[in-house]
Amino acid sequence: MLLNRVVKPLVCLLFSIASIIGQEAPRPNRHPILSIFPEPLPDGRSGITLEAASQFLRPDFENGDEGRTFARFDGEDWGLTLDLARHFGPLVFNLRLRGIWRSGGWADQAFASWHSVLGVPQGGRDMAPKYRLDYTLERDGQVVAQLTKDRACFMDADVALLFPFGTPTSGGRMGISVQAPTGSGSDFSGSGGWDELIGVALWQRWGRFLFHTQLEYAFLGISNTNPYSLVLDHNTQKRAWAGIGYQPNGRGILSGLGLDITIAYVESPYSVGIPRIDRSGWQQHWTFSHSKLPKWRISISEEAGTYTSPDLTAFIQYRF
């Protein structure tokens, strides 16, 4: 009697809370100057993600604040992200580990050819050497961070605690995360300090459509002696995502193809006198899925008019 009235309903409640899916974790911004900030609040599911990102700052935009700041961002990143999630009653613990191979890459000629096909300007790529890796940020002659040789970088690790609520149809989750300084601030693989983040995600499903949003506030725990303090106007960052997804349940290749379109806003806390770095960024994310391959996602992200987003980022993800 006690089992039927108390234990079984409690187990069912905890299982339903732990199995809430709703909105998936949004795609993060992968520009080197913003990758030092904590990762987006995860959705609490284990998985592995392979990603590639290309960024370029045209040479005539490299100097700011009347020569006090020098910035150069030209390179390509290949990253591997591992999420490990565990459920503890109504809470979810998530560990995120990231490694990135940074190099000059191979996509420069592809970008040049694509611009030529479209008949649009090269955006300064014709003024810079092809296949170059140079991530450099200097202030008043002091190097804040720099990477000019191909290297595998282990990024700062993120540990998040999540509380999901509601149902997969209508609900949300809130949580906090801490970013440990496992990376190096000298090559844009970390902030050099302990960072924190708080966030909340909400979703509502109508039929095959899912409307979702996620809001976050991140804080960099850097000291006054940290070189990043020379180029940051403040140590906090606001981020927001809003999107709509559609997932049919068809049997064919096209009839089962789903699409999520999300627009992201990422605040830039930098102040270096270079508009394309100081200005907050918008980024568009296109994520494809298929009803017959529910554990897989393919995503493409592109800057939406401001430089604080990479030129192009692509992801392929598998959920355990």
Which of the residue ranges 99-113, 145-159, 175-189, 257-271 would you say has the lowest mean pLDDT? 99-113
Question: Number of H helices and number of E strands within the chain?
Answer: 4, 16
In DSSP terms, 77 is beta-bridged to 53, 102
Report the distance separating Cα 289 and Cα 293, nearest Å: 7
178 phi and psi angles, rounded to 5 deg: -125, 135
Residues with Cβ within 8 Å of 76's Cβ and at least 6 positions away in sequence, in order, are 52, 53, 54, 55, 102, 103, 104, 105, 106, 107, 133
Query: What is the distance of C-alpha 1 from the center of its chain?
Result: 49
Residues with Cβ within 8 Å of 203's Cβ and at least 6 positions away in sequence, in order, are 22, 23, 170, 171, 172, 210, 211, 212, 213
Average pLDDT, whole number, for the chain? Answer: 88
Which pLDDT does position 305 carry in this prediction?
Answer: 56
Question: Residues 113-138: pLDDT tens digits?
Answer: 776 777 776 677 777 788 899 999 99
Question: Residues 205-220: pLDDT tens digits?
Answer: 999 999 999 999 999 9
Domain boundaries, the chain: 2-319
Residue-wise DSSP of 32-80:
TTTTTSPPPPP-S--EEEEEEEEEE--GGGSEEGGGTEEEEEEEEEEEE
Flag whether pLDDT at 103 surpasses 90.
yes
Q: Indicate whether this model's pTM tops 0.85.
A: yes
8 Å CB contact between 77 and 107: no
User: Which one, of 102, 105, 128, lies nearest residue 35 by Cα?
Assistant: 102
Which of the residue ranges 32-36, 93-97, 145-149, 183-187 would you say has the lowest mean pLDDT? 32-36
In DSSP terms, 29 is beta-bridged to none
Report the distance separating Cα 275 and Cα 92, nearest Å: 40
Flag whether pLDDT at 31 surpasses 70.
yes
Which pLDDT does position 13 carry in this prediction?
Answer: 39
CATH of the domain spanning 2-319: 2.40.160.40
Which pLDDT does position 304 carry in this prediction?
Answer: 60
